[in-house]
Structures are given as C-alpha cells and as structure tokens.
Amino acid sequence: MAESKMQAIEYGRYSMEMRSGKILNIDEGFTKLLGYTEDDVNEGLVFKQFVPDVEYDEIIKDLRKKFIDNIYSCYEHEMVTKSGSRVRVVSFITIQNKLLEGHRVLEVGIAAIN
C-alpha cells in the first residue's frame, strides 16, 4: 500500500474573552485534547490555566497589532492538559466582529503537532 500523503491530527476549538482570557465555550475536541470540560468552563477556566508559560498581556498586545491588518493570527506553543502533561499545538486565532459585555471575543482553533 502506498504511503499516505495526509495524516489526521487531533484538534479542538474554544472561544474566549480577549481582555480577560476567560474561556466562554469549548468543543468536544478541546476536551479530548486537553481534558478540560464544560464544568471547568462554568467554574471560570481561563487561558493562563492551560497556557501558563505565556505572558497573556504580551500576547494581547501582539494580537492587537496583528488585528490592525488581519482578522486572524497563528502561533505554535505548548498547552498544559488538565492532568498536567504538555501538548505542542498550533493555535489559529480569529477576532470576532462581536462584543460580549463590551469585550472582544476570540475564536481559537488548536491542532496538536509532534
């Protein structure tokens, strides 16, 4: 059998409030990849809990600059699962044209990489 040119990868999605990093919702892929659930979201899950090695304020400054010209941005980084292990991912971030209580909302797709 010929070697496949395509390989499936694990992926998920979440949305968050841009200013605070508060997670608004997650999908099943996010739960499968990182272990966090809707209960965690309801208890106040924030970006810093699963991306602790990144300075959130610096990322937001960078995103604000990038969003002047584009509605999306892409980063490679590590995320920490609920059990404490680390997963290397690529994050695809888009800014939504909507406000939630006066704050911008980011939609983020994540894909695990080796």
The number of angstroms, rounded, from the C-alpha of 19 to the middle of its chain's C-alpha atoms is 14
> Tens digits of per-residue pLDDT, 35-44?
999 999 999 9
pTM recorded for the entire structure: 0.87
- Going from N- to C-terminal start, the domains of the chain cover 11-112
Per the model's pLDDT, the better-predicted residue between 111 and 60 turns out to be: 111
User: Quick one: tokens of 67?
Assistant: 């969003």
Q: Which stretches of the chain are DSSP H helices?
A: 28-34, 38-42, 47-50, 56-69
> Tens digits of per-residue pLDDT, 12-57?
999 999 989 999 999 999 999 999 999 999 999 999 999 998 888 8
> Could you give the CA distance from residue 104 to residue 113 in angstroms, rounded to a whole number?
28
CATH fold for the domain made of 11-112: Beta-Lactamase (3.30.450)
Q: In what order do the strands lie in the sheet with 72-80?
A: 23-26, 11-17, 103-112, 86-100, 72-80
